[in-house]
Structure 1
Amino acid sequence: MTDLNIFLYCASSSSLQSLELPSSEITDAVVEQVAGKLSNITFLDISSCKKIGARALKAFGKHCQSLVGLRRTMRPLEVTDMVCHDEEAVAIALTMPKLRHLELAYLLLTTQGVLHILLHCPDLEFLDIRGCWDVKIDETLKEKYAGVRVLGPDIVDDRSFLDEFSDYTDSSDYSWEFMDDVYDDDVYEDMSDEESVWNDDYDVD
């Protein structure tokens, strides 16, 4: 069965709430045709889907208005020939305001792209930006969005968080800082309460 057929089959279920299509070959055009049938989706995994972009994200956001969790991550080698993903960040920000959990590891984002998301997703609780090297947020932003747990962009040698929480298969290593509170979400019951160190060399006017 092809990725398209799988996608269409999933879309045929009106009660579907969680849709996981990692490494799928679906395209923007396919998503635009089918997303209207996915109105009950609350969690979406489109990690390592290299043939979709901002158009698909806009379509998902427009039709999946109950979406609270999105995994849109890549592996390092998958983005070597790609350009900036800020258009995807803007699409997420403008069409998915109810997001609470967002994974964007290794996307080619800038600080401005992440700020769009923080500004337009007021319910956001967890943001994974591991490997998003151009994202730099200073203490002012960290304090302003203190309610958001941020993982990344720095990566150091520790894999226990990866083993417990992520589906990644690349060889990168991960780190975090302990948080005082406990994350409690029905969809992400196993997420540990950690946050990475922010990079503080970005000046905010």
Structure 2
Amino acid sequence: MTTEPETRNWLELPLDVTASILSRLGAIEILNSAQNVCSLWRKICKDPLMWRSIDMHNLGDVWDMEYDPEKMCVHAVDRSCGLLVDINLEYFGSDELLIHIADRSSRLKRLRLVSCYNISDEGLKEAALKLPFLEELEISYCSISKDALETIGRCCPHLKSLKFNVQGCRRFHLESDDEALAIAQTMPELRHLQLFGNKLTNDGLQVILDGCPHLESLDLRQCFNVNLGGNLEKRCVERIKNLQRPYDSTHDYEFDAEVFDTGSSYEDYPSGISDIDLMSDDYDDYFEFSGASDFSDYDDEYVLFD
């Protein structure tokens, strides 16, 4: 006699267990799918505690989505009712969205911006004024300058971790310590710093070591203007517990680590073009994509969340 395998009724799980399972989904999956499964899951998904952390990751295909990621993010932030402490935005976003997040999430501790082409210095600076408890910040492949970094450093005194990453570039040989100076002068409490692909020089590194005495980890991969050796390398090794050098392996780096390499000079490009602009293989297509300042021309219907 064979017995039927026992089936589990997921609705009988304790609420805290169900909430823990659902919390492992991204915000997009929760709003588009999970909350529509049943009334119990919908109730759980409306609990502000479910939205202390909001992960809006995607693969950059925002124009093919059946929803407006910016409106979805606004809805998720509003559901948090001020409890939000951690948010991740990838491949979308605007100054208006970032300021909306800051207005409603004054206790935010972690902010991650990846390829958010339409977030400007001005938007980030205005948001930073409202985020005094920020501890961890990542800005990867965004058009953000030293001016915004200075404001962040002044307005976010508890900042412990900064990732400020761009596409590595070997053949321009541009040198700039502006960002290194901004970090050193305004972020003395940093413990962790990642500057993947930065144009800083040995002088900029010296300034960071002077201005950030508590550094425990420092990632300088693809910072090809830094030449570690002699006293500078000795100082880094003695001070930094986890040091990654310019030519160290990038196997564990989550983004494309291909080095931007061209025979053209930087002066051949229009003024104001940043590293994120130059990382595109097709210069014209990039600007066609990034030219829109919002999603007002997005014609497809999006999911209604309420």
Q: Indicate which of 128, 133, 136 corresponds to 1:43.
A: 136
After superposition, the C-alpha distances for 1:104-127 in whole angstroms (9 at most, x for unaligned) are 011111111111101110000111
What is the one-letter code of the residue matched to 1:113? G
| Cα distance in 2 between the residues matched to 1:169 and 1:94 | 30
TM-score (norm 2): 0.50
Aligned-pair CA distance for 1:155: 3.5
Q: Which residue is 2:254 aligned to?
A: 167
| Cα distance in 2 between the residues matched to 1:144 and 1:114 | 11
Determine what percentage of the aligned residue pairs are the same residue. 32
Q: Which residue is 1:74 aligned to?
A: 166
Task: State the SS of the aligned residue for 1:153.
Answer: coil
Task: State the SS of the aligned residue for 1:92.
Answer: helix
Q: Which residue is 2:208 aligned to?
A: 117
Q: Which residue is 1:22 aligned to?
A: 114
Aligned-pair CA distance for 1:81: 7.3
Q: Which residue is 1:108 aligned to?
A: 199
Q: Which residue is 1:59 aligned to?
A: 151
What is the one-letter code of the residue matched to 1:62? R
What is the one-letter code of the residue matched to 2:141? S
Q: Indicate which of 136, 152, 174 corresponds to 2:227.
A: 136
Measured on the aligned residues, the alpha-carbon RMSD in Å equals: 2.2
Larger radius of gyration: 2
Aligned residues: 164
Going from structure 1 to structure 2, the CA distance change for 1:27 and 1:80 (only over 3 Å counts) comes to farther
What is the one-letter code of the residue matched to 1:154? Y
Mapped contact 2:190–2:214 kept (Cα < 8 A): yes
| Cα distance in 1 between the residues matched to 2:126 and 2:173 | 25
Aligned-pair CA distance for 1:134: 1.2
Q: Which residue is 1:126 aligned to?
A: 217
Q: Indicate which of 166, 182, 195 corresponds to 1:91.
A: 182
What is the one-letter code of the residue matched to 2:121? D
What is the one-letter code of the residue matched to 1:111? N
Going from structure 1 to structure 2, the CA distance change for 1:42 and 1:82 (only over 3 Å counts) comes to farther
Unmatched 5+ stretches in structure 2: 1-69, 71-92, 260-306
What is the one-letter code of the residue matched to 1:106? G
Mapped contact 2:173–2:225 kept (Cα < 8 A): no
Mapped contact 1:69–1:100 kept (Cα < 8 A): yes
Q: Indicate which of 7, 10, 26 corresponds to 2:101.
A: 10
5 Å-filtered alignment, 1:140-151, equals 140-145=231-236, 146-148=238-240, 149-151=242-244
TM-score (norm 1): 0.73
| Cα distance in 1 between the residues matched to 2:173 and 2:102 | 29
Mapped contact 2:163–2:194 kept (Cα < 8 A): yes
Going from structure 1 to structure 2, the CA distance change for 1:35 and 1:80 (only over 3 Å counts) comes to farther
After superposition, the C-alpha distances for 1:8-59 in whole angstroms (9 at most, x for unaligned) are 1321201110000111132122222221101110000111112x11100001
Mapped contact 2:113–2:138 kept (Cα < 8 A): yes
Mapped contact 1:10–1:19 kept (Cα < 8 A): no
Going from structure 1 to structure 2, the CA distance change for 1:83 and 1:53 (only over 3 Å counts) comes to farther
Regions of 4+ moved over 6 Å: 79-82
Q: Which residue is 1:198 aligned to?
A: none
Unmatched 5+ stretches in structure 1: 173-205
Structure in which a larger fraction of residues adopt helix = 2
| Cα distance in 1 between the residues matched to 2:180 and 2:247 | 19
